[in-house]
Amino acid sequence: MTSFNLRQVKLRSGEQYRDEQELTLEPLVFGGQRYIPVPETVAADLVVSRASTGTVFELRFDARLHGPCQRCLADAVVERRISAREYQATSPGDDDELRTPYLHEQQLDLSSWARDALALDLPDQILCRPDCAGLCPVCGKDLNVEPHEHEEELADSRWAALSELRDRL
């Protein structure tokens, strides 16, 4: 876990602290599939800005995930430029929107924040290519490699009466 100790940063209102941090990214499970960050350790820009009402944290990094395509199960790669921002009020009270979940006793949990920011930035589906045809629902062959169609199977004779009824309507 990568964390940053805020005790080393002494800021007054209006001041800003910038630093480059080495983040260790953890594998991510998305859509029931496991995606591995390559490389596992990335350089991230951390910016801490002090305001009169609290502190603003900004995190920027590039990430690349490798894993299966969600249509054909071939290898897929997702590259993302992540830019995340969090806020911690000086006196948040009971309002959860005024505090960041990544700050615990002056330790900013960069690994958890990076994981969540990356997960929120992923596309709806991770594909090997935008026009991936997927797998054949009948035989399971990869339609990208071997495009084909199956002839329509004959209906079960037990359903013949319903088919006749459908045709009449």
Q: Return the pLDDT at 29.
A: 93
Q: What is the pLDDT of residues 109-162, one digit of tens each?
A: 999 999 999 999 999 999 999 999 999 988 889 999 989 888 776 667 788 888
- Which residues neighbour 157 within 8 Å (Cβ) at sequence distance 6 or greater? none
Q: What is the pLDDT of residues 5-28, one digit of tens each?
A: 888 888 888 889 999 999 999 999
Q: Return the pLDDT at 155.
A: 65
Burial class (CB in 10 A: 0-12, 13-18, 19+), 61: buried
Phi, psi of 134 (to 5 degrees): 85, -160
CA atoms within 13 A on the CB side of 53: 6
Minimal CA–CA distance to 82: which of 32, 17, 10, 28?
28
Q: Locate the DSSP E strands across the chain.
A: 3-5, 16-24, 28-30, 33-37, 41-50, 54-68, 75-89, 103-104, 107-109
Minimal CA–CA distance to 113: which of 73, 81, 137, 84?
84
Residue 45 confidence class, pLDDT cut points 50, 70, 90: very high
Residue for token digits 């979940």? 101
Burial class (CB in 10 A: 0-12, 13-18, 19+), 89: middle
What are the residue ranges spanned by the domains of the chain?
A: 3-121, 136-169
Q: Return the pLDDT at 11.
A: 83
Q: What is the pLDDT of residues 64-91, one digit of tens each?
A: 999 999 999 999 999 999 999 999 888 7
Residue 164 confidence class, pLDDT cut points 50, 70, 90: confident
Q: Return the pLDDT at 153.
A: 64
Q: Return the pLDDT at 6.
A: 84
The chain-wide mean pLDDT, for the chain, equals 89
